[in-house]
Structure 1
Amino acid sequence: MAVQWVLVCHGLVTLLVVISFLCGQWPIFQGTFIERIHYFLTFGAYDYFLRFVGAVFGSKGTNAMLSVEYFCCDRPNPILQIIYLAIIGGTYYLIANSSFEYIPGYYLSGVHRYTSLLAVGVGVLLFLLTSFSDPGTVKADNVSKYISAYPYDGIIYSEKECSTCKIPKPARSKHCSVCDRCVARFDHHCGWMNNCIGERNTRYFMAFLLWHFLLCIYGTVTIGLVLAGQLKELRVSYILTVYYGIDNSFRSLAPHVVQWLLASYNTQILLMVFLAIVSLLLAGFFGYHANLCLTNTTTNETFKWQDYLSWQKKLNEAKASAAALKASVSGMRSEGNTPKSKWRAFFRKSPLEDMQVVKNNIYDKGFFQNLLEIVFPPSTRSSLFQTKSKSG
């Protein structure tokens, strides 16, 4: 039984590390131990390792590590793409090698041997489509098209020039320091895709996330049905109750059934737990980006809006403080007048309570229109309309 507890603890620790690494920077985990683990994994551990290399190998070792860091993090490279292909290929191989011998089974037909391969193939296709499609690169010959597609809002975007490309900078665009190009409706640079996520490939990226979430759910359920089928075919519950005298109830049978499964099908269980954890992470990531798409906001813009709202709030507070100071000075000058009720002054609201900071996102045009802009990007539609008008 000790081995089973070791596996459970290993799974919980793995889940904690994966969630901390991938999601530790989310606002929901701010100020928690998950955020601190994320900081250690993404910065602290590397910083200590860099100091260790410097102490052992000197400046040459440190410079070599910094060169590797520059290649891996600051320049386009296929490392994470290769890792993705290794993960999905290795996981499918392990599932096929450990579970296909039980398909067809009590609950599954033989068609799942082929549908699983098709599902993985579609996932890889969406990955390649997102990785190698144009995210919406802004160039001198198409910059006017993007400027007309995305007007300046005068709040977080105003008319200016990209200091690197030396061309007008359309609203919602950003110069990606990794790819060294301006990208229209820039969301973020995705290392897994080795590509930016922008106006033209956000739809592929969202399809990739959704499909891989469903793929992980499909794998988890399928392996679960394989194990349930084995329990049924081998009559495990019957043997435990008749030959070992265990009470025929869920509470009594469950620990023994789990122990038998861990002993006989540990590979399948580990794969099922892995797929379940990844599906939860993908669900959270997809939900976050789906919310951004439905409100017509990008990841890049969330930070811009946070900075703007914070600045606007401080400005309003300063104005309210100045108004309160002015009112108090005026009150001191008019002390000779009839004194006002202290109770009224006590219950009077502070000027700060009347100050409201509103996010005025002009790009949010409603649920349906926002979704339409993801599926059919405005720049592609405007080019089609221009072509039709010229031909007419």
Structure 2
Amino acid sequence: MIIKVMGVQWVLVCHGLVTAVVVVSFLCGRWPIFEGTFIQRIHYFLTFGAYDYFLRFVGAVFGSKCTNAILSVEYYCCDRPNPLLQILYLLIIGVTYYFIANSCFAFIPGYYLSEIHRYISLSVVAVGILLFLLTSFSDPGTVNANNVSHYIKAYPYDNIIYEEKECSTCKIPKPARSKHCSICDRCVARFDHHCGWMNNCIGEKNTRYFMAFLLWHFLICVYGTVAIGLILAGRLKDFKVIDILTVYYGIQNSFMDLAPHVVQWLLGSYNTQILLMVFLAIVGMLLAGFFGYHAKLCLSNTTTNETFKWQDYMEWQRKLKEAKVSAEALKQSISGMSSERQPLLSKWRTFFRKSPLEDVVVVKNNVYDKGFLHNILEVISPFSTRRSFTRNKLKSS
């Protein structure tokens, strides 16, 4: 019996490790720290390789017509607006809340939780769905012929990553920080990214709702994890599990000695609640990371779209400066060889001498970053919602 229980525990541990590796590989496999590692290779397989092999298999077995049908479905799901992920979100929220209510509400009120948490849980989920709908169906800041001049005044060109030009699709001037979304087929002011979960772009007007959505759902996961943990702790108290283990079974009253037996008892009696708690904890950590990333962007007044633009610009500038430094070093070397005899450096000094390429520094000059208070205000109160923006629009008309 003991061997069987230990085998089940090892299976759960291995399952958890494999799940963690897959999740980290899928979400973080492109990070520089994982470059050249098996994490990056798993990420490539999950995001491209597996699908590519699947298409080849379908083409070899069923022919090109079936492959084209799959590509048509891919185009609808990934390249056109569709509500599939919105429906999936509602299903995840609904199913998770159903399992929580079905498995946990029977123990409320309990030793640590009062009956009010039945209604609090429903309220926080309702607010989360409201934020989801608000982000999904709000205008992200669509740029059109009527407001393009006001957006140009609101976001001046920095002549670094943005310069004056026309949108080739909309045939109107393209304001700085805007981008034409190929999925929604519109120009969006202060474009951040197109969110499939919202079936909407995240831009100048609805970034505040998107940030509130992420933060609130992170808090929902924390609340759910803590609440289920308190329910399980209450069950331990109700059944006096600690007293039974220490008094009747002679187990020492220490965390290291009691923990394996307590976990074994909880897994045997409340496995559904533990799975829900682990699920909420993992989702909460993912949401915390995603919210932290976007909060950092908001504090520096940068968007996801601009992050990639700055990376390309900085890399180009670095290569340009390195080329200039290399050319200058080669010129000095040639002039030194043709001039009078120079004092020789020792081999050790030559070996440890710093390369001139190490002095190459590229500085990011973000003219839109005006201090974190101003940056936060710009997210909370977008330019297009302010009276000055509306007043200017009325004057011009």
- Write the mapping of 1:346-385 to structure 2, written as runs, cut at 5 A: 346=350, 350-381=355-386, 382-385=388-391
Distance 1:179 1:23 in 2: 27
Partner residue of 2:294? 289
CA, structure 1 residues 114+339, in 2 after alignment: closer, same or farther (shift >3 Å)?
Answer: same
CA distance, structure 2, for counterparts of residue 8 and residue 270 of structure 1: 13
Deviation, structure 1 residue 60 = 0.7
- 1:121 corresponds in structure 2 to 126
CA contact (8 A) 1:15 1:277 kept: no
Gaps of 5+ in 2: none
Matching residue within 255, 258, 269 for 1:253 = 258
Q: Output the aligned Cα RMSD.
A: 2.0
- Indicate the percent of aligned positions where both proteins have the same amino acid: 77
Alignment-derived partner of residue 141 in structure 1: 146
Q: Give the residue type in structure 1 aligned to 2:156.
A: P
Question: Is the Cα–Cα contact under 8 Å of residues 162 and 176 in structure 2 kept in the other structure?
Answer: yes
> Are the aligned partners of 2:150 and 2:392 in contact in 1 as well (CA < 8 Å)?
no
| Whole-Å separation in 2 of the counterparts to 1:294 and 1:132 | 25
How far off its partner does 1:322 sit? 1.8
Does the 8 Å contact 1:4/1:262 carry over to 2?
no
Secondary structure at the aligned position of 2:194 is classed as strand
- Alpha-carbon contact 2:140-2:201 (below 8 Å) kept: yes
Deviation at 1:348, TM superposition (A): 6.8
Whole-angstrom CA distance in 1 between matches of 2:130 and 2:24 = 27
Distance 1:155 1:95 in 2: 51
On the 8 A contact 1:294/1:367 being kept in 2, the answer is: yes
Find the residue that maps to 2:62 and give its secondary structure.
helix
Query: Secondary structure of the equivalent of 1:146?
Result: helix
Unaligned runs of 5+ in 1: none
Aligned counterpart, 1:386 = 392
Task: Give, in whole Å, the separation in 1 of the partners of 2:197 and 2:12.
Answer: 29
Distance, in Å, in 2 between the alignment partners of 1:376 and 1:221 is 33
Q: Distance in 2 between matches of 1:88 and 1:32?
A: 35
Deviation at 1:239, TM superposition (A): 1.6
Match of 1:214 among 219, 238, 263: 219
* Distance in 1 separating the partners of 2:137 and 2:87: 14
Shifted more, 52-61 versus 241-250: the winner is 241-250
C-alpha displacement of 1:55? 1.0
Q: How has the CA–CA distance of structure 1 residues 22 and 343 changed in structure 2, closer, same or farther, with 3 Å as cutoff?
A: closer
Map of 1:163 onto structure 2: 168
Q: Does 1:6 align with 2:11?
A: yes
Equivalence for 1:226:
231
| SS of the residue 1:189 aligns to | strand
| Pair 210,30 (structure 1): closer, same or farther in 2 beyond 3 Å | farther
Tell me the residue number matched to 1:194: 199
Question: Deviations for 1:15-62, whole angstroms, at most 9, x for unmatched residues?
Answer: 332332233333443333222222211111111111111111101110
Which residue in 2 is equivalent to 1:303?
Answer: 308
Work out the CA distance in 2 between the residues paired with 1:101 and 1:355: 65
> 1:53 and 1:387, CA in 2 relative to 1: closer, same or farther beyond 3 A?
closer
Distance in 1, matches of 2:367 and 2:271, equals: 53
Q: How many Å separate the matches in 2 of 1:72 and 1:388?
A: 40
Contact preservation (8 Å) 1:295, 1:370: yes
Work out which of the residue numbers 330, 334, 349 in structure 1 matches 2:339.
Answer: 334
1:93-152 per-position Cα deviation (integer Å, ceiling 9, x unaligned): 100000000001000111100001000011111111111111111111111111111110
Change (3 A) 1:26 1:133: farther
